[in-house]
Structure 1
Amino acid sequence: MPQLSVIVHGPNAQGHLAALLDSLAAHPLPDAEVIVAAVGDWARETAEGHTPETIVVPLPDGTGDAAARAAGAARASGRWLHFVHAKDGLPAGAPRLIAERTAELDTTDGPDPVDVLLFDHVTTTWQAAARPSPDGRRLAAAGRAARPLDEAADLLRLAPLLGNRALRAAFWHAHEELLATDDEPRAAHAALLHAGRIACLDQTAYDHRVLRPESLPPRAPGDRLALVDRYESLLPLTRDRRAVHAVLYDLMVRDLVTTFAREDLPEDVAREFFRRASLAAVRWRPEGHRRPPGLDGVRHALLEEDAYTRYRALQAANRARRAARTAVRARRRRLGAKVRDHQYRRALNRPVDPDLAVFAAYWNRGVACNPAAIAAKLAELAPRVHPVWVVTRRNAALLPPGTDHVIPGTRRYWETLATAKYLTNNVNFPNAVVKRPDAVHLQTHHGTPLKRMGLDQRDHPAAAQGMDFAALLARVDKWDYSLSANSHTTRMWERAYPSRYTSLDYGYPRNDVYYTAGAADVRAARERLGIAPGQTAVLYAPTHRDYEAGFTPRLDLAALADRLGEHTVLLVRAHYFYGGAASPPYGPRRSGRIVDVSAYDPVEELCLAADALVTDYSSIMFDYANLDRPIVIHADDWETYRTTRGVYFDLMADHPGQVARTQEELAEIFRSGAWRDANAAKARAAFRRRFCEYDDGRAAERVVRRVFLGEPEEALPPILPIEDRTPAPPPEEATA
C-alpha cells in the first residue's frame, strides 16, 4: 500500500496536463502512485504517454469533476489521497513533502486519526506564474499539532481548494457521498467540517492555475445563485459549533457581498440574488453577531434588511466619491512631479560637489551593509568628503545620532542626488536619477548569488514578479563600479548585469569585521543578546521565498529547541523583506531558548555571537563562512526553490558543512556532533576557498582608496591568502 495516491482528474484543459505529468515523472517517489482520471480523448492520450508509471482511468467527454475524482479514488490504493486537477501543477518535490508529512501523522496518530492535511499553494494565471497565497501565515500560526476544526476554526479561511489538502483514504470513502459535488469550494469546506482532526504543513505543495475567463464557456447569470446554495448546504453542518459557525457565516456574507458588488448581473438576477442572500444572512446569523465597523458594516446591514434599492444607491455614491478622489490625487501627483522635476533639473545645472557622497542601503532602510562599512572607512581616510544617507521618513529616527540624511522625494533629496560626486548603494537608485558624466556610481550589492539575479530571472517569473528588464538595464548602465567578494560573483554579475562598469574584486566591506573583531567584541555581542557563558548559540536565518506571502518558519522551533537541549539557544532572524511583520508566530520576542532577532542590527554582530549558522539558501552563508565556524543547510524544499527561483550552482553538492532535508535530520546533525566534525570542516574549507576569495578584512580600505581617493590598482593593499587570515575567535575561545 503506497503512502500517497496522487489523483489527477479532469480534461486536458489548454494542454496543461502534459506539463503536470512530466513534472511528476521527473521526481518519482517510491511511496506514491499517480492515477489519471482522464476526461476525454486528449487527456487519455496524454496520460497514456506516461504509462506504465501512471495508472490511466479513461472517462468520456463531459464527465464532471466529482465523478472524475470518484473514478480515480476507486482505483487508488494509497493511505492518503491528493486530488489534483488536470489544469493545475505540482511544485517539484510536492508529493514527497505530502507523503513524508502524512507518514509522520500516521506514526503519531492515536485512536483519533487525522483526516485532513492542509498545505500552502501558489497561484498561476495567464498573466503571471506562481504568485504566493496569503495562507502561509495562517498555516504557520496553526503549528504542526493536529486538532479538531473547532479548535482552529480560522483554517476555514484558507483558499477552498481540494488541491491544497490531502485526505485520508478511509475518511474519503466514509464521506464520499457528502463530498461528491462539482462545486470544489463546497467540497473543500465540507471536508474540513466532517474531519475528526486536521493537521497543517506550512510549505507550498500545490500550484492552482486560474484559466483566463474569456477562454472558458460563458456562465449563465443564474449560476451565481449557486453561491447561496453552497452556504445553505454547509451551515447546517455547523450547528452547536459556535466558533466554526461564526467563521463560516463571515465567509458567506463576504462572498455574497463581494459577488453582488463585482458581478455585472442582469437586473432580475441581481434582485433575486440579493433577496436570497438577504434571507441566508438573516437565517444563519450567529447569536450576538457583531457587524464589522465602517462601510463593510453598512453593506452587511443593508443586505440583512433586503434593502436592494438603498444598496445600489450606496454603490453609486461610493463610485462617484472614489472617482472624485482619484482625480484629485492624480492632479496633485502630476503637479508635485512637475515641481520636483523642475527642481531636480535646476540642480543638475549646478557644479558637482567633489566632497559630497550619497549613501543608501536596502531601499533606504538606513546605515547598513557594504555602504555603511565604506562610509566608516571613508570618514577615517578622507574626512573631507561629507556623507549624506538616503533614508525613509519611518527609519530616520533609527539613524545613529548626528547622521546627515535626506528623505526620498524632498527638495533636498533631489538637490543632493544631483550635485553629489559619489553615489553608493547596495541596490539601485530610482530610474529618475540622472548619471552625470563627472559623478561616480558605486554598486556594492548585498550578497553572493546562489539564486538567479538580474536578466537571469527572465525564465523564472515567480522571482521576476513583473520586473521591467529594460528599466533594470538602464539603471545598470549608470554603474561605474560593481563590487565583488569572489570570482564566482564577478562572473555572475557580468552575466546578470551586462554593461561597461568596472568590477572591483576587493571583497565585501561588511565582512571586514569578521577579521578585525577580537575576543572582546565576541563577548560583548553575546552579552547584548543575553547568551550565557557555556551556551551554544545557533543562528537560524532562512531566506525569502518568492512563492510565499510572508515569513513562515520552516521548522517547529520549540520542538527543535527541546531536541537540542537546555544549553542551546536559537537566534531566529527572518528576512528583511518581511519588514515589521517579520516576527515568527511562535510567541513573544524571547521565549525560553528561542530569541527573535529579526529586527536586530547589524547582522554581523549576530554572526560574531553565534557558534553555528543554520540557513537554507540565504547569502548569509557566504558571509558567515569567513568566520570558519560550522554551517548547516536545512533544505527541505530545495527542488521547489531551485525550480521557482533558479540557482547558479547545486548547493546540495557544493555545501558549506552538513545538509539536512528534514527537521529530524537537522536535530540529529547537532545531537550527534556531525555539525562540527571532520567532514563538515572539509566541506567548509572548500566553500571558504571558493566564496571568501577576496574577503580578508581590508575590503573597505581598497574601495575607498580606489574609488574616492583615486589611487591606482597596484597601490592598493594586496589580498591576503586565505590560509594567512585570522578570523574573530569562536565564542568558546573568546569566553574561555
Structure 2
Amino acid sequence: MPRFSVIVPAYQVQAYLHECLESVLSQSYDDLELIAVDDGSPDACGAVIDEFAARDPRVRAVHLPENTGLGRARNTGMERATGDYLVFLDGDDTLTPDALLAIADRLKETGDPDVLVYDYARTYWSGEAVRNRAAAELTERGPAPFRLADRPGLLNLLMVAWNKAYRREFVEHAGFSFPPGYYEDTPWTYPVLMAAESVATLDRVCVHYRQRRDGGILRTTSERHFDVFDQYDRVFAYLDEHPGLAHWRPVLFRRMVDHLVTVYARRDRLPRGTRAAFLRRARAHYRRHRAPGASVPARARVHHTLVRFGLHRTYRVLRLASALHRRAAGAAGGLLRALRSAALLLHYRVQRLLPLRADRAVFTARADGGHGGGPGALEAAFRAVAPHIRTAWVTRPEHPGHPHAVPPGPRTAAYWTALARSTYLVSDTGFDPRLVKRKGQVLVRTQPGTPLGHTGLDLLGRPAAARDTDFARLLEDVDRWDYVVSANLHSTLTWERAYPGRYTTLEYGQPRTDPLHTATAADVAGAREALGIPEGAVAILYAPVHRDHHRAQRTRRPLLDLERVVRRLGPRFVVLARTRHPLGAPLANASGRVVDVTGHPSVASLCLASDVLVTDCSPLVFDYAGLDRPIVLCADAREAYEAARGAYVDLRAFPPGAVVDGEDELIDVFATGHWRGAHSARRRAAFRARFCPYDDGRVAERVVRRVVFGETCLPPVVPLHERRPAPSAAAAFEGPPPLATVPQQSGGPSAVTDRV
C-alpha cells in the first residue's frame, strides 16, 4: 500500500501532460502510485499516459471510452486508488519539487489528519509565479490537527480539490465523490472540510497552477457555466442532510453569492444573450438558500443587491459606460497612429472595407528563407491543387526576384492591399504587427522545422537565446493563427506549449521536405552541377547550428578546420559549408574542395546535392533524415549550445547516425566507412520513424486540401518502407571510397567504432 495515490485526469492537455506526470514521478518522496486517467481525450493524452506507464511501474493507466468530465474521471481514479492519502492534480498543473516529501512530513507531524491543506501558486506564460493571496490562512502556528470551526478562514481559499491531501479511509467512509458538470470541486470541497474530524495545514507551495491563455474550462464560453447552480444545490442539500452543520449556512450563502457574481461578470464565460437568464437563476438561488439574519459585509452589498433583485439592465448600463470610456481612449490613440502612417494606413483601412478575394493567397518567409521553406512548398501546392487561387509573395529586399512578388515593405499600396484583401495568409514568420485579421481570412503558420532548441515561451529565462524577443507581441501574433503545420507528435506537443493559442494543429508533416521526396536523379545531378561538385565525389554538407552564445564573437571560421578535413580524406571528398558567417576568401579558395554555400537561397537544393550531413545540433537534421541519407553527429560543442538555449531532444542519446567528438574522430568515421555502415543505418531508421512519420512528398498537398477545401479524407501517408526519396549520388558506391590518405589516430578506429 503506497503512501499517496496521485490521481491525474487528462483531457486535451497533451502539450502539458508530460511535465505534469514528470513532476510526480521525479518527486524525492517516491512511495506513491500515479493513476493517470485518459478521459476519452481526442488528442495524444492517452499515448502520453501509456508511454509513462511502460517506463515506470508506479503508473497505472486508465482509458475511458468516452469523455465523462473531470469529476467522474477523478471518481474512476479513486475507485482504483490503494494509497493512504488521495492527492489530485490536473493534467496541466505540476507538483513543485519535494512537495510530497513536505506533505508526508507534515502528515506525520499532525497525526495523519483527515485532510491536509497546502498552498499553490499561479504560474503564467511569462514565467511569473504568484502565490495564493490567502496564504496567511495556512499558517502552521497553533494546535494541529483541528476542525474547520477552529479555523473557518480556510473557506476563504480557492475551493478546489487539488490543494489538499485526503485520507482515503475518511473519504470512502463518508461516501464522498465528485458530481458531473462544471464547478465539480464546489460540492466536494465544502462538505469534505465540514465533515473532517481533523484538519491540518502546510504553509508551503506544493502545486503550480498553470494559467493557460485559453483552453481551460473556466475560460471557455459555454452554457455549461449554468452548472454552478446545481453544484450549490448539492452543497445546501448536504447541509440539510446533516443538521449539525446548519451553522455553516450563512458562510456558504455569502460564498455562493460571490461565486455567482464572478461567473456572471466574467466576459469569457457566459454566451451572448444568456446573462439575463443567468441572473434570474441567481436571484432564485438567492431567495432559496438565503440564511435568515445572515449579515452581508459592506464591500459585498452591491453584489448582493445585484443578485437579490436581478438587476441585469443596471449592470449593462454600468458596463456600457465603461466600454464607451475605453473606446474613446482607444480612438484617441488610433488617431495618433493614423497621423503617423497617414495615407497608406488610410488606404489599408479602405481596402479592409472591400470584400475579401477568395481567389487570393499571400505568402511570406523568413529573411534567410527566400521563396522556399514551408511557405514555398505550400505555394507550389496551391498552384497545383487549387489553381483558381492566385498567389503572391510579400518579398524582402534581398529576395526581390520572385515572379509573383508584391513590392517589398510596408511603404507600398500593393503590400497593404494584399494583406487586406487576400483570404489566405501563409508564413513561417510574423506578418506586419499592424495586420488586422479580418473575419474570413485564414492564416496558416508553417513553423521552421522540427523544434530542437527551445523556442517561443520556453525561451523565458534564457536571455542569451531570447535576446530582444517581445513575448507579448509574439502571443498577439499567435492569436491570429488559424492553422499550425506540425511535422510530428513531438512538434505538436512543443508548439502547443511554446505557442499557446486557439489554432488548429495540422500534424501532417513538414511541407518544406516535399522536394526531397519528389526530386529525381536528374534533379540531384542538376543541383550538384550548379554547385560545381565533381562527378563521383562524395559531397559532405557541413551545417552547424547557429549558437546564440557566439553572437558577439562574429568569427569567420567554422567550428571544424574544413581544409584539414578534406586534405586528410583525399580528393574524392568535397565539403559544402553552410555556416552562419561566410568562410572568407583565403579559406574558401585554398583547395577548391571547400565550397562556401552560406548564402545559398535553397537549403533543399543543398540537401539534394550532398551525400551526407555533418552537423552538431542543427534542426536541419530532422529534414535530412527524411532523405534516408547518412548523418554524422559532431557533438563536441553541444554542451555550450544547450546551456544557452536548451534542447528538447538529446541527439546524443537518440542519434540519427554515427556520433563523433571532434575533428579526428570525424575523419576516422569517413576513413573507415562507418559513416554509412549498418549500425548508422539502423539508428537513422529509428530516427526517421520517430520524427519523419508523414514526410512522403505530399505534405503540402494535404495541408492545402484541408485548409482550402475542408477535406478530412486526405491522401494516405506512404509507409516509411515504401518511400523512395531522391537518390544520393553516392548511393551506388560499394564500400568505403578510395582515399588519398587513411589517417590513424591515437587509439585506432576502435575508439570510433565503439561510439558509432
- Residue number in structure 1 paired with 2:75: none
Say if 1:574 and 1:584, in contact at 8 Å, map to a contact too.
no
Distance 1:552 1:457 in 2: 28
Task: Mark the CA change 1:617 to 1:586 in structure 2 (over 3 Å): closer, same or farther.
Answer: farther
1:376 to 376, 380, 386: 380
Displacement after TM superposition at 1:548 (Å) = 1.4
Distance 2:395 2:438 in 1: 22
Secondary structure of the equivalent of 2:460? helix
1:395 to 395, 399, 408: 399
Structure 1 length as normaliser, TM-score?
0.52
2:467 to 465, 469, 475: 465
Larger-Rg structure: 2
Say if 2:630 and 2:675, in contact at 8 Å, map to a contact too.
yes
CA deviation string 1:33-61 (max 9, x = no partner): xxxxxxxxxxxxxxxxxxxxxxxxxxxxx
Give the letter for the 1:353 counterpart: R
- Residue number in structure 2 paired with 1:687: 687
Distance 1:585 1:448 in 2: 33
Distance 1:493 1:640 in 2: 24
CA deviation string 1:679-736 (max 9, x = no partner): 211111111111111101111111111112x23212x101122122111122134799
Say if 1:364 and 1:390, in contact at 8 Å, map to a contact too.
no
Displacement after TM superposition at 1:356 (Å) = 1.1
Q: Structure 2 matches for 1:372-521, cutoff 5 A?
A: 372-396=376-400, 399-400=401-402, 402-409=403-410, 410-521=412-523
2:353 to 349, 354, 357: 349
Q: Structure 2 matches for 1:552-563, cutoff 5 A?
A: 552-563=557-568
Distance 1:394 1:693 in 2: 34
Give the letter for the 1:654 counterpart: F
Displacement after TM superposition at 1:515 (Å) = 1.7
Aligned-residue Cα RMSD (Å) equals 2.1
Distance 1:667 1:588 in 2: 20
Give the letter for the 1:732 counterpart: A
2:570 to 565, 569, 573: 565
- Residue number in structure 2 paired with 1:719: 717
Matched, 1:574 2:579: yes
Distance 2:542 2:656 in 1: 15
Secondary structure of the equivalent of 1:389? strand
- Residue number in structure 2 paired with 1:594: 594
Displacement after TM superposition at 1:590 (Å) = 7.8
1:337 to 322, 341, 358: 341
Q: Structure 2 matches for 1:646-685, cutoff 5 A?
A: 646-685=646-685
Gaps of 5+ in 1: 1-331
Say if 1:366 and 1:389, in contact at 8 Å, map to a contact too.
no
Displacement after TM superposition at 1:518 (Å) = 1.7
Distance 1:346 1:336 in 2: 17
Say if 1:520 and 1:734, in contact at 8 Å, map to a contact too.
no
- Residue number in structure 2 paired with 1:618: 618
Displacement after TM superposition at 1:335 (Å) = 5.3
Q: Structure 2 matches for 1:33-432, cutoff 5 A?
A: 336-363=340-367, 366-396=370-400, 399-400=401-402, 402-409=403-410, 410-432=412-434
Say if 1:486 and 1:694, in contact at 8 Å, map to a contact too.
yes
Secondary structure of the equivalent of 1:422? strand
Displacement after TM superposition at 1:674 (Å) = 1.4
Displacement after TM superposition at 1:586 (Å) = 4.6
- Residue number in structure 1 paired with 2:546: 544
Distance 2:483 2:667 in 1: 43
Distance 2:621 2:655 in 1: 10
Displacement after TM superposition at 1:469 (Å) = 1.0
Task: Mark the CA change 1:466 to 1:599 in structure 2 (over 3 Å): closer, same or farther.
Answer: closer
Task: Mark the CA change 1:441 to 1:334 in structure 2 (over 3 Å): closer, same or farther.
Answer: closer
Task: Mark the CA change 1:368 to 1:734 in structure 2 (over 3 Å): closer, same or farther.
Answer: farther
CA deviation string 1:307-348 (max 9, x = no partner): xxxxxxxxxxxxxxxxxxxxxxxxx99955233332222222
Secondary structure of the equivalent of 1:346? helix
Identify the structure with bigger relative contact order (alpha carbons < 8 Å, sequence gap 6+): 1
Distance 1:650 1:733 in 2: 29
Distance 1:585 1:622 in 2: 31
CA deviation string 1:553-576 (max 9, x = no partner): 00111111111111100011124x
Secondary structure of the equivalent of 1:731? coil
Task: Mark the CA change 1:609 to 1:393 in structure 2 (over 3 Å): closer, same or farther.
Answer: closer
Distance 1:617 1:586 in 2: 27
CA deviation string 1:387-408 (max 9, x = no partner): 1101123421xx24x3232311
Say if 1:589 and 1:596, in contact at 8 Å, map to a contact too.
no
Gaps of 5+ in 2: 1-335, 735-756
Give the letter for the 1:560 counterpart: V
- Of all paired residues, the percent bearing the same amino acid is 46
Give the letter for the 1:563 counterpart: R
Task: Mark the CA change 1:413 to 1:589 in structure 2 (over 3 Å): closer, same or farther.
Answer: farther
- Residue number in structure 1 paired with 2:7: none
- Residue number in structure 2 paired with 1:71: none
Distance 2:454 2:622 in 1: 16
Distance 1:601 1:471 in 2: 29
Say if 1:571 and 1:595, in contact at 8 Å, map to a contact too.
yes
Secondary structure of the equivalent of 2:354? coil
Give the letter for the 2:710 counterpart: E
Distance 2:586 2:438 in 1: 50
Displacement after TM superposition at 1:526 (Å) = 1.5
Displacement after TM superposition at 1:584 (Å) = 4.6
Give the letter for the 1:367 counterpart: H
Secondary structure of the equivalent of 2:465? helix
Displacement after TM superposition at 1:498 (Å) = 0.8
